[in-house]
């Protein structure tokens, strides 16, 4: 297989040309994700975390306040564990749902956990504000301040 751009020889399972980094379409292996789906995957990841937290606190909070608080902590923790498990396979929840897969430029291999962690966790925080993460932190902060008010209210009562 030769690169359509620079005619360089490309390894049979590579997604990108080693010389010019051009994407080589491989219908048998997968296609390059378009920007919208990549953006959607970025939004879905934190959104699931927020939904898990909101649903858990709403559903279980309706049964018992303590249960709601416990589940509001448990659900995001479970989600985080799932998230970290997926990272080892070059996936995030959003990417898995949308059928996206992160591959290394030259080899076409799945990046390891460390690479994915840097890319998906550290990279996102460094690459500017991500709406979902900001929302999640805001929601958590709100929960903490309402807990603090509750404690103060109980004491003065």
How many whole angstroms separate alpha carbon 74 and alpha carbon 142? 18
Site string for Zn ion, 6-35 (x = CB under 5 A): x-x--------x-xx-x-------------
DSSP structural state of residue 118: I
52 forms part of the interface with Zn ion (CB under 5 A): no
CB 63 within 8 A of CB 36: no
5 forms part of the interface with Zn ion (CB under 5 A): yes
Residue 1 CB, nearest distance to Zn ion (Å)? 11
Residue 34 CB, nearest distance to Zn ion (Å)? 21
Cβ-based nearer residue to Zn ion, 14 or 136: 14
Residues binding Zn ion: number (CB under 5 A): 8
How many whole angstroms separate alpha carbon 66 and alpha carbon 56? 12
How many whole angstroms separate alpha carbon 141 and alpha carbon 114? 29
Query: Two tokens at 76?
Result: 């995001």
Residues that bind Zn ion (CB under 5 A): 3, 5-6, 8, 17, 19-20, 22
């Amino acid at each position: 297989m030769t690169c359509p751009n620079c005619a360089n020889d490309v390894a049979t399972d590579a997604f990108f040309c080693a010389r010019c980094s051009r994407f080589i379409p491989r219908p048998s292996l997968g296609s390059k994700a378009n920007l919208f789906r990549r953006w959607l995957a970025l939004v879905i990841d934190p959104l699931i975390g927020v939904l898990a937290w909101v649903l858990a606190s709403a559903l279980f909070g309706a049964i018992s306040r303590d249960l709601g608080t416990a589940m509001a902590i448990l659900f995001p923790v479970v989600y985080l564990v799932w998230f970290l498990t997926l990272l080892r396979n070059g996936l995030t929840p959003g990417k898995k749902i949308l059928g996206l897969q992160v591959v290394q430029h030259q080899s076409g291999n799945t990046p390891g956990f460390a690479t994915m962690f840097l890319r998906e966790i550290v990279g996102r925080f460094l690459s500017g504000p991500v709406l979902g993460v900001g929302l999640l932190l805001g929601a958590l902060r709100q929960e903490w301040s309402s807990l603090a008010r509750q404690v103060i209210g109980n004491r003065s009562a």
